[in-house]
Structure 1
Amino acid sequence: MTAACKKTCDNCQLSPPPSNKRIRMLYSFDFAQQMHFPSNPLLPGPMYFLTPRKCGLFGVSCEGLQKQVNFLIDEGMSSGKGSNEVISYMHHDIITAIFPQK
């Protein structure tokens, strides 16, 4: 399926695929492990008070275009890894691919 999507993109010169053509495209997506980065809670004192902050990572890859979009989700904004979250990220990715911001 990946090879067929690449061939479709090469034949139609799609980047990104237009919304007025009927084509098939393969998207892969998944959550990755959480990343930690230093956070400063504005407490006075030495580096001891720096606590790591969690950041979720959700990746969407368009196999035909060899393009990947990563969503970084702050721990304060994350509501889980359920179907509603996945659909929201996929919807955002597909809509921005069809209607890119200028």
Structure 2
Amino acid sequence: MTAACKKTCDDYQWSIGPSLPSSKKIRIHYSFDFAQQMHFPSNPLQPGPIYFLTPQKCGLFGISCEGLQNQVNFLIDGGVSSGKGSNEVISYLHHFLTHFGF
């Protein structure tokens, strides 16, 4: 499925970015998922926890078109995140497909 998607993207010379709506009979394969929460500031070489400083939480939701080697990431501030439910996923997918979909 991903090989067919790559061939379709190569045939139409697509890239991630805004595109006009089309009625072509093609198949595009997208993958998406939440990553673990990240904390920033972050220092992977730090020997212990940050003293008297609570790092800010940040959620990460990524969407990738399997035919291209590009990915769009949504960074979600922990203070405004309402979870990882279906409403959030649909909102991110809608935004992605409206602005970056083929």
Runs of 4+ in 1 over 4 A off after TM superposition: none
Greater helix share, structure number: 1
TM-score, normalised via structure 1 length: 0.79
Of 14, 22, 25 in structure 1, the residue corresponding to residue 28 of structure 2 is 25
- Sequence identity percentage: 74
Greater strand share, structure number: 1
Higher RCO (C-alpha 8 Å, min separation 6): 2
RMSD: 2.0
**Unpaired segments ≥5 residues, structure 2:** 42-49
Q: Take 2:51 and 2:8, find their aligned partners in 1: how far apart are those partners?
A: 54
**Unpaired segments ≥5 residues, structure 1:** 39-46
Q: Take 1:98 and 1:36, find their aligned partners in 2: how far apart are those partners?
A: 29
Q: Take 1:25 and 1:33, find their aligned partners in 2: how far apart are those partners?
A: 26
* Bigger radius of gyration among the two: 1
